[in-house]
Amino acid sequence: MHSDLIPVIASQENPALRAMFEARKRVFVDLLKWDVPVLADRYEIDQFDTDEAEYLVLVDDLAAHRASTRLLRTEGPHILADLYPFLCEGPVPHGPTTREITRFCIEPTLATRDRRQARNQLVTALVEHALRSGITDYTGVAGLSWFKQIEAFGWDCRALGQPRQVGGDLLVGLHIRIDARTPEDLSRTGINSLLTCRLPAKGGLQ
């Protein structure tokens, strides 16, 4: 089955965007039990889903969700700076070429092999998007076990501070540097995947 990254727009009528928010509800609310807002008991949407947000959405031939993530500009409100600045031992990284990766979401109904493939494609898309768009750095917040997986992908990834207990989770602030060598670094660990990538659009579901 062919998969492609498609751009999404700020419209409730866009099927890819709706599918992404539905998948986020299944993953982050139903499975992980996060206490986050849910719209119409169907869509996981929070205060960072604004017109400034960007989305990468991976879909199959029938436009069904496979994987997605949200990118937030770091000069304005974003999760690391607004909610978890204490995860950084120094200043929170920010700037016009830095984006925060949030809501990294793999479709939970996929088989294990397909989930791994979708994850690798989404990581590849993040790198391709960065290289095409002049993004040099990604930041994020992750649980400790997920951070260790991200770190093992092979790219230049480091923790911004020591893991901190937040509720029942150990959280880590992370920083990823992107440059021309990153695709080769991901290839060495088997993460880099061939795919067709078109740039995402700005906009959130209001």
* pLDDT mean over 73-83: 97
Beta bridge partners of 56: 69
Instruction: Give Cα 55 to chain centroid, integer Å.
Output: 8
The pTM of the full predicted model, rounded to 2 decimals, is 0.88
Report the distance separating Cα 206 and Cα 47, nearest Å: 10
End-to-end Cα, the chain, rounded Å: 32
Taken in order of first residue, the domains within the chain and their CATH numbers are 4-188 (3.40.630.30)
Written as six digits, the tokens of 172 are 């880590």
**Cβ count near 19 (within 10 Å):** 19
Give yes or no for a contact between 74 and 94, defined as CB atoms under 8 angstroms apart.
yes
| pLDDT over threshold 50, residue 62 | yes
pLDDT of residue 14: 72
pLDDT of residue 192: 87
* pLDDT mean over 157-182: 96
